[in-house]
Amino acid sequence: MFKFSSICLIAIMSTVMVTHAQARSRSFVSSYGNDANPCGPFAPCRQFDRAIDVTDPDGEVVVLDSTGFLPVTISKSVSLTAPTGVYAAISVSAAGTSGVTIATPGVSVVLRGLTINGLGGDSGILMTAGAKLSIENCVISNFSIIGSSSNQLGVLVQTPATVRMVNTLIRDNDIGIQLQEGATADISESKFLGNSTAGIFAFNETAGTTTTAAISNTIVLGSGIGIYARVITPTASSKIDISRSIVSSSGVGITAESPASVGAASVSIRKSMVTGSSNFGLWNIDGTLISYGNNTLSNNSVNVVGTLTTVAPL
């Protein structure tokens, strides 16, 4: 009887493992994993890239325990998920590299619960092609190299993708997040702390496109420029809408810059506070700054430079 039960158990487990290997809707990685494994829950892989390879499009890679991982390039629609209480870290030490690279047209990527740390790398997340990127409950920090002539970035999006960021900490980078080439972002319930050049930067140099950022319930603290919309190309646009947010202790709180006859940069602000700027709270350089009349400007060396258009609260 014992022998029969053992054989049955082995057969059942084998069937489960084959089913997982065939479906591959969910794969697993862990500190004790091996990339020669099939990436199932009882035989996880070690690195993200191997688990992604065996996961079907729109599937999920789940981290089982706290550990570190190598940088990864994602070439299909997939989610990388570290559950609450699991520390899943990607360290980026080589110049010219990023923690997560997305460069495949049409893919949708979700990054949930990851910590990405710069130790000499160029960016935490680099997206040069793709349809959607969701960054949830992540920490991206330390992309800043002393003496470097170029900025390192927490997140860099260089494609007209839809980006969603929620409950994420972006700290101690040169630039927290830079959006360009017509990207559209929704940033909520996040913190941008100590990003020396800019916290949130919506930039556009691509004619005929609009880079857009909607920012809500977010704190931007201690940046060169807290929130920055800039255009340098004719017919290009950059638009930022800020609501229920705080920009504090920056050199300049919020800037809209579009040199005369070159594109259109605009920032609208509602139910928000700009405080403690060492230079200017709001700075309009031939762009458009709109206040909905329910904002607070306080303790800035100069509250407003350039034209500020005030309209009735919505």
More confident residue, 259 or 283: 283
CATH number for the domain running over 57-310: 2.160.20.10
pTM, 2 dp: 0.91
pLDDT on residue 3: 38
pLDDT tens for residues 213-252? Answer: 999 999 999 999 999 999 998 889 999 999 999 999 999 9
Domain regions of the chain by residue span? 57-310
Asked if residues 150 and 171 have their Cβ atoms less than 8 Å apart, the reply is: no
DSSP string, 64-80: -SSEEE--EEE-SSEEE
Asked if residues 144 and 118 have their Cβ atoms less than 8 Å apart, the reply is: yes
- Is 314 a residue whose pLDDT tops 90? no
pLDDT tens for residues 108-160? Answer: 999 999 999 999 999 999 999 999 999 999 999 999 987 777 899 999 999 99
pLDDT tens for residues 153-166? Answer: 999 999 999 999 99
Alpha carbon distance 188, 218 (integer Å): 6
pLDDT on residue 70: 97
3-state secondary structure of 178: strand
pLDDT on residue 312: 83
